[in-house]
A and B are shown apart, each in its own frame.
Chain A
């Protein structure tokens, strides 16, 4: 029984990721004495992991139905733009602006889903077109409404959200760790909500069925079009949340928010076991995949890798991680056949 459990655990892609992650942390930790410095390394690293995990979840939402969202970064910029407008022009408090921005992101996502379902055009093409349209629109709004191409008004609480950690959360005399940023709470809440959707809620299950086989789902009475629109709306809303987290981390709401989101949005989910073809998602895997890439980047940067060798090494290690996973899968499948 124990052996069976162990074998099954090893066959899980996420187990491989956890082992690789632990190995890398041990290797980098022994090579770099300051790798566990909570102020300069762990806190900023976890803040980035939190933001990119939400970006990964945004992509995961559309991957679940077998679609892609090329405009994930620009949807983040679109949502963040509304948050900036809410703070600078409408003088709203922090969380009211966040709600407006996430709603705007969800709306643009839903519109994208509607275009896909009504036109029947591939999601890649539609989101690519949406990316271009939003690029122009967001830049236009910033250049028309601001002089420095950014909304720089900081509502009360934004500064604290950027710098506060769990050490600022105390129960009596005992406080949390200074290594975990408070911003990570947003990522945890997003993971719990998305996790609940796909593992417990009927809507999420239906989205996965649409991703597995849209025709079969349609014949089973699932409202396929509505699920497609819903998945894209979820993707847009999560992208906007990630835009908010990046703006809080950086300090202002700019048009360039999200411009670096596209690659990490795929890396996290795909490394974590989410299928590009739809039908299977992994929320924990997305977090692990994102953590893996960020730990590699952090470790290599601290080892003094140049910008070129950083990109090459990152590419090779990720390729190796994916290949090793495949090798492990094949070996476990062969063993299973022999038995």
Chain B
């Protein structure tokens, strides 16, 4: 130890003791400061925060949707905060900071599906209205008021069915996906498996490659290795994560192999691939609808104008198969789904007085 460590230690202990004693309370002094009651509030008193798990192209439409929510529903304020950096502890910190700044309604894409319920419980105990947007918690229980998300298992099933159809119902399929130790990835793997099982053995999964959604470079390397080693045996590739989708589309095109690729999301590169035929189809999701409808519902719940008919309800925000035939018109279908979602919330998900 260094000289004067003793004095520094003493100072630190003194400061610590001071902090503890200054903050002492008398039992019962906090009573009555519980969460906000059911009194109706004006919508301008509601501030809605949209908090994704971290920076990702998927969430970019949330930004515009947040502005739209403010303009259309006259809420007190909206913010899009992507500082969570895909770490649950950092996300919790970001959420608490937003709460301290007066944001009393939050649409959250939880980083860790197995941990996010604890975060929801904490926030709700502090009187904050919470929605799980874009991803639902793992397990059967959702502690948020509602979950508005793509049914990831269903979307993966749809993608695999589309790939199998493009393969003429026979051959070997490869599944490229994201973080293996994530409950949503397990749901996707199960969705693809279900579609393959329905072929009665005509289609088999050659391999499932997880953990390649970290960045595009990782995905590109994995695709290059796969195509060089087993390219000739593969008839179809189904991707259920963004970076592998972009990498697979470009990799198959440059290798010139007759592999049918089914991608995820509607990134410009993938849409261009559909137009030039290198990508058979893609499954688009509805992030705009999630944030727009989710933001409106959060405002209704936070003002006390509405309550949940069944707390913790899960609503599918929709997934859409895009092929060459509807590549220019699919957005109309998606907007119609958003309108339908609003109606669904008004008629059955919320109970409004």
**Are A249 and B89 in contact (CB-based, < 8 A)?**
yes
**Are B83 and A305 in contact (CB-based, < 8 A)?**
yes
Q: How far is the CB of A193 from the nearest CB of chain B, in Å?
A: 15
Which of B2, B96, B116 is close to A44, meaning CB atoms less than 8 Å apart? B96
A220 contacts chain B at the CB level, 8 A cutoff:
no
The 0/1 profile, CB within 8 Å of B marked 1, for residues 219-256 of chain A is 00000000000000000000000000010011110111
Given contacts A34-B100, A251-B118, contact A15 B186 (CB under 8 A): no
Given contacts A142-B181, A178-B30, contact A282 B19 (CB under 8 A): no
A177 contacts chain B at the CB level, 8 A cutoff:
yes
The 0/1 profile, CB within 8 Å of A marked 1, for residues 1-45 of chain B is 111110111011000000110111111101000000000000000
Chain B, Cβ-Cβ closest to A152: B114
Inter-chain CA distance A40–B104, complex, in Å, is 12
**Are A177 and B23 in contact (CB-based, < 8 A)?**
yes
Given contacts A178-B23, A179-B23, A284-B5, contact A149 B183 (CB under 8 A): yes
Chain B, Cβ-Cβ closest to A251: B118
**Are A167 and B114 in contact (CB-based, < 8 A)?**
no
Q: How far is the CB of A61 from the nearest CB of chain B, in Å?
A: 15
Which residues of the partner chain B approach A284 to less than 8 Å between Cβ atoms? Answer: 5, 8-9, 12
Q: How far is the CB of A139 from the nearest CB of chain B, in Å?
A: 6
B55 contacts chain A at the CB level, 8 A cutoff:
yes
Q: How far is the CB of A268 from the nearest CB of chain B, in Å?
A: 15
Which residues of the partner chain B approach A143 to less than 8 Å between Cβ atoms? Answer: 180-181
**Are B181 and A280 in contact (CB-based, < 8 A)?**
no
Chain A, Cβ-Cβ closest to B25: A175
A199 contacts chain B at the CB level, 8 A cutoff:
yes
**Are B87 and A176 in contact (CB-based, < 8 A)?**
no
Chain A, Cβ-Cβ closest to B26: A173
Inter-chain CA distance A284–B16, complex, in Å, is 12
How many residues from A make CB contacts under 8 Å with B? 67
Given contacts A147-B186, A170-B27, A251-B115, contact A41 B1 (CB under 8 A): no
Which of B26, B99, B122, B185 is close to A163, meaning CB atoms less than 8 Å apart? B122
A67 contacts chain B at the CB level, 8 A cutoff:
no
Given contacts A173-B26, A284-B8, contact A139 B180 (CB under 8 A): yes
The 0/1 profile, CB within 8 Å of B marked 1, for residues 301-339 of chain A is 110011100100000000000000000000000000000
**Are A176 and B92 in contact (CB-based, < 8 A)?**
no
B88 contacts chain A at the CB level, 8 A cutoff:
yes
48-99 of chain B: CB within 8 A of chain A: 54-55, 82-83, 85, 87-90, 92-94, 96-97, 99
Which of B4, B93, B112, B185 is close to A252, meaning CB atoms less than 8 Å apart? B112
Q: How far is the CB of A274 from the nearest CB of chain B, in Å?
A: 10
Which residues of the partner chain B approach A5 to less than 8 Å between Cβ atoms? Answer: 7
Inter-chain CA distance A40–B122, complex, in Å, is 10
The number of chain B residues touching the other chain, given as a range, is: 35 or more
A281 contacts chain B at the CB level, 8 A cutoff:
yes
Inter-chain CA distance A174–B22, complex, in Å, is 12
Inter-chain CA distance A169–B160, complex, in Å, is 55
Chain B, Cβ-Cβ closest to A200: B1
Given contacts A44-B93, A147-B186, A170-B27, contact A273 B181 (CB under 8 A): no
Which residues of the partner chain A approach B185 to less than 8 Å between Cβ atoms? Answer: 149
**Are B19 and A180 in contact (CB-based, < 8 A)?**
yes
Chain A, Cβ-Cβ closest to B11: A18
108-166 of chain B: CB within 8 A of chain A: 112-119, 122, 125-126, 138-139
B101 contacts chain A at the CB level, 8 A cutoff:
yes
**Are B115 and A254 in contact (CB-based, < 8 A)?**
yes
Inter-chain CA distance A159–B118, complex, in Å, is 9
Inter-chain CA distance A40–B92, complex, in Å, is 10
The 0/1 profile, CB within 8 Å of A marked 1, for residues 181-194 of chain B is 11101100000000
Inter-chain CA distance A217–B23, complex, in Å, is 47
Which of B54, B99, B114 is close to A150, meaning CB atoms less than 8 Å apart? B114
Given contacts A15-B8, A282-B2, contact A254 B181 (CB under 8 A): yes
Inter-chain CA distance A198–B352, complex, in Å, is 64
Pairs A–B under 8 Å by Cβ, sample size 22: A39-B100, A44-B93, A149-B114, A149-B183, A150-B114, A162-B122, A166-B23, A173-B26, A174-B25, A176-B23, A177-B19, A177-B25, A199-B5, A250-B112, A254-B115, A255-B181, A260-B90, A297-B93, A301-B83, A301-B97, A307-B82, A310-B83
The 6 closest A-B pairs by CB, nearest first: A177-B23, A251-B118, A150-B114, A40-B100, A148-B183, A149-B181
* Further contacts, 20 of them, CB under 8 A, given A12-B4, A18-B11, A307-B55: A15-B8, A40-B97, A40-B99, A139-B180, A143-B181, A147-B183, A148-B114, A148-B183, A152-B114, A167-B30, A178-B30, A249-B89, A251-B114, A251-B118, A260-B87, A281-B1, A284-B9, A298-B97, A301-B97, A307-B54
